[in-house]
């Protein structure tokens, strides 16, 4: 009884994740290349627990192989079908029940899912530099923002333009990445940016600036020197 409920609800999560990862992927790569001004591919893939024993993601160095890419896309399409994912989860729950009881932990379900993050021919985790890691994190955030901008369901907002929030990210970027991020930000309709040091904001990033100090907030007008 419980297995069937877990499989049914878990399959809905699995299907939604497979769908959103496939939609995020091209935006992640595009924004990473724009931020880094480089040619390395940034790729995200869904490592679904429901697929264990049935499908193994190719190694990072093989992700440029057309056959491997086709296999991933086929598998993602299958997982995006909640009925397919439910059948997989039911089978896994049955197969691993004894192991779960012996170990006292849940080994099957969407809580065991993960994302595979690739940069070029290497896994991003453990190999990406500080700047590359921040570019990747920003690319993920910007990709999600892009998906929300394109959403016309009306489920989350009426005007179709989400607020892009960047909390103290410029301090983690070199000058080149700051300028390129500012260029992306300038294309957004609504943006909220925070920095601890005003000089970290690129000069071309215009807009109202609110200064917070000693528990007080004041409006700073561009082009007017601070008092």
Do 183 and 106 share a structural domain?
no
Q: Is 134 exposed, middle or buried (0-12, 13-18, 19+ CB in 10 A)?
A: buried
Give a yes or no: residue 146 inside a domain.
no
At residue 223, the pLDDT reads 43
Give a yes or no: residue 137 inside a domain.
no
Do 164 and 96 share a structural domain?
no
Give a yes or no: residue 225 inside a domain.
no
Do 111 and 68 share a structural domain?
yes
Do 117 and 165 share a structural domain?
no
CB within 8 Å of 68: residues ≥ 6 apart = 58, 62
Torsion of Cα atoms, 216 then 220 then 225 then 227, to 10°: -20
Looking at 57, 92, 127, which one is the last position of a domain? 127
At residue 63, the pLDDT reads 86
Helix (H/G/I), strand (E/B), else coil: 117: strand
Do 114 and 37 share a structural domain?
yes
Do 178 and 94 share a structural domain?
no
Do 171 and 71 share a structural domain?
no
Instruction: Average pLDDT across each block of 10 residues of the chain; the chain has 227 residues. List them in order.
Output: 90 97 97 93 95 89 89 95 96 92 92 96 93 96 93 69 91 93 89 88 82 85 44
Looking at 93, 127, 161, which one is the last position of a domain? 127
* Integer angstrom CA distances of residue 87 from 10, 13, 50, 82, 106: 11, 14, 9, 9, 18
Give a yes or no: residue 143 inside a domain.
no
Do 155 and 210 share a structural domain?
yes
d(CA 65, CA 175): 35
Do 117 and 191 share a structural domain?
no
Give a yes or no: residue 144 inside a domain.
no
State pTM to two decimals. 0.87
Give a yes or no: residue 136 inside a domain.
no
Give a yes or no: residue 132 inside a domain.
no
Do 173 and 94 share a structural domain?
no
Do 163 and 71 share a structural domain?
no
Give a yes or no: residue 191 inside a domain.
yes
Do 104 and 35 share a structural domain?
yes
Structural domain harbouring 200: 151-220
At residue 160, the pLDDT reads 64
Number of domains in the chain: 2
């Amino acid at each position: 009884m419980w297995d069937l409920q877990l499989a049914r609800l878990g399959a809905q999560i699995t299907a939604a994740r497979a769908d959103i990862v496939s939609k995020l992927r091209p935006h992640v790569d595009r924004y990473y290349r724009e931020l880094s001004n480089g040619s390395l591919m940034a790729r995200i893939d869904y490592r679904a627990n429901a697929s264990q024993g049935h499908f193994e993601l190719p190694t990072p160095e093989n992700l440029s192989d057309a056959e491997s890419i086709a296999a991933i896309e086929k598998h993602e399409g299958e997982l995006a079908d909640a009925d397919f994912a439910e059948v997989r989860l039911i089978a896994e729950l049955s197969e691993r029940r004894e192991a779960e009881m012996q170990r006292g932990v849940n080994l099957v379900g969407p809580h065991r899912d993960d994302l595979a993050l690739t940069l070029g021919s290497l896994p991003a985790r453990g190999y990406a530099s500080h700047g590359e890691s921040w570019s990747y994190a920003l690319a993920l955030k910007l990709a999600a923002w892009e998906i929300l901008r394109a959403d016309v369901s009306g489920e989350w907002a009426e005007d179709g333009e989400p607020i892009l929030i960047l909390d103290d990210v410029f301090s983690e970027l070199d000058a080149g990445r700051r300028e390129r991020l500012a260029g992306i930000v300038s294309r957004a309709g609504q943006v909220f940016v925070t920095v601890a040091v005003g000089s970290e904001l690129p000069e071309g990033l215009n807009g109202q600036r609110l200064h917070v100090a000693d528990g007080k907030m004041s409006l700073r007008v561009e082009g007017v020197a601070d008092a």
